[in-house]
Amino acid sequence: MGQRYAHVSLDERCEIYRLHADGKSQRAIGRLMGRSASTIGRELKRNALPRAGYKPAMAERMAWARKRRLPKIERLSPLKTHILDALAMEQSPEQIAGRLKLEGSEHTVSAETIYAWIYGPHGRRRKLHRLLPQAKSRRGRRARKGRRDPPIPDRMPIHMRPTKAHLRAEPGHWEADLVHFRKQRACLLTCIERRSRLLLTAPLPDKTARTTAEALAGLLNRAPKRARKTVTLDNGGEFYDHKSLPVRAFFCDPHSPWQRGSIENANGVLRRSLPRHIRLIKFSDQDIEDITWTYNTTPRKCLGFLTPIEAFAKSIGVALVI
């Protein structure tokens, strides 16, 4: 279990005042009170008066006033508007905070501050959690469901994949998967470049091996030749015809989706616009392209808050056409 924290009480503030007046160091005070030295230092710094210094009663009032104060995001209307707009554009709190810092914005916040605001009273009233990638009403992990392990002929395990692919050291190594929808044969083929996180998509009328292989080959052939080296797949029967692909295919271990973390993450983001219950045939090719374009023009923390398009163009040094 993680460490538990508690606010400093009035009795503790009186003890801090007494020990500090006796000339004890912050580390010594913390050791005697069972508190971190940084907690003592923060208390003395935040709740001290400019001239009178640290007084327990005044420190208690200052801490209470700070607790009653509105969150930073609520106090700054431009910042609040920017965050709401970015959430509506399917950006995560980490992406929003990172981009603000990268652009040198006048007002910056951490991702944790944005999460605290979303899950706090102000965000819950507006149901802002619905704008997050997973749209969960509470923070935490969900339990995983059962898995299957269909046979794939001549499958090459992921452990034989080139080291540069594993380390994302060069462009041209891809991951692919299918996004399924409830009570329908249609599905969405997704393919992501591991280094830049550039995403390519193609709607499929069914998930047969031949249909999937032809569509995946078409997506891979859209990339420049120097950006076509390998593709990593799961063990689904839809990838039975992997030998017909224009690049070498490698397969992750059974029941190990985290070995293709990039595509799993991308599929989770796409679910915000394409939830499982929708009818995929009601979305035109242009609709799918627009959703993909939004993904590829959204800044990513793992890319130093560049967008996938910017990162891909930088890695291969050519103009990009999607």
Q: Examine the domain organization and report whether 224 and 257 are in the same domain.
A: yes
- Per-residue b or e along 205-235, where b marks 16 or more CB atoms closer than 10 Å to that residue's CB: eebebebbbebbeebbeebeeebbbbbbbbb
Residues 6+ apart with CB under 8 A from 16: 8, 29, 33, 40, 43, 44, 54, 56
Whether residues 182 and 111 fall in one domain: no
**Using CA atoms, how far apart are residues 242 and 8, in angstroms rounded to an integer?**
61
Q: Count up the domains in the chain and report the number.
A: 3
Residues 282 and 188 in one domain: yes
Instruction: Give a yes or no: residue 322 inside a domain.
Output: no
In contact, 204 and 231? CB cutoff 8 Å: no
The pLDDT of residue 141 is 66
What's the pTM? 0.60
Long-range contacts of 178-181 (CB under 8 A, 24+ apart): 178/204, 178/207, 178/212, 178/236, 178/238, 179/267, 179/270, 179/271, 179/274, 180/207, 180/276, 181/274, 181/276, 181/277, 181/278, 181/279, 181/280
Helix, strand, coil percentages, rounded to 5, for the chain = 50, 10, 40
pLDDT of residue 265: 93
Q: In which residue are the tokens 């224009």 written?
A: 246
Distance CA 48, CA 226 (A): 62
118 belongs to a structural domain: yes
Q: Is residue 211 located within the same domain as residue 300? A: yes
Asked if residue 215 belongs to a domain, the reply is: yes
CB 198 within 8 A of CB 309: yes
Amino acid 217: pLDDT: 95
Give yes or no: residues 172 and 282 share one domain. Answer: yes
CA distance 263 to 236: 15
Q: Per the domain annotation, does 199 fall within a domain? A: yes
User: 181 and 309 in one domain?
Assistant: yes
pLDDT, residue 4, reads 60
Question: What are the distances in angstroms from CA 162 to CA 55, 167, 171?
Answer: 63, 9, 12
Shared domain check, 271 and 245: yes
Mean pLDDT by 10 residues, the chain (322 residues): 71 92 92 92 89 89 84 90 92 93 90 92 90 83 55 88 94 95 91 96 93 95 93 92 94 88 93 91 93 94 93 81 48
Backbone angles phi, psi at 300, to 5 degrees: -120, 135
Task: Tell me what pLDDT residue 81 has.
Answer: 93
Own/partner pairs, 307-312, CB within 8 angstroms, 24+ separation? 308/193, 308/196, 308/197, 308/198, 308/199, 309/198, 311/195, 311/196, 311/197, 311/198, 312/171, 312/193, 312/195, 312/196, 312/198, 312/227
Domain co-membership, 282 together with 203: yes
pLDDT of residue 3: 57
Q: Are 62 and 46 in contact (CB under 8 A)?
A: yes
Among 113, 131, 149, identify where a domain stops. Answer: 131
Domain that holds residue 87: 72-131
The pLDDT of residue 140? 72
> Which pLDDT value is given to residue 148?
53
Nearest one of 90, 75, 119 to 270, comparing CA atoms: 90
10 Å Cβ neighbour count for 26?
A: 21
170 and 252 assigned to the same domain: yes
Closest CA to 119 of 107, 108, 132, 106: 132
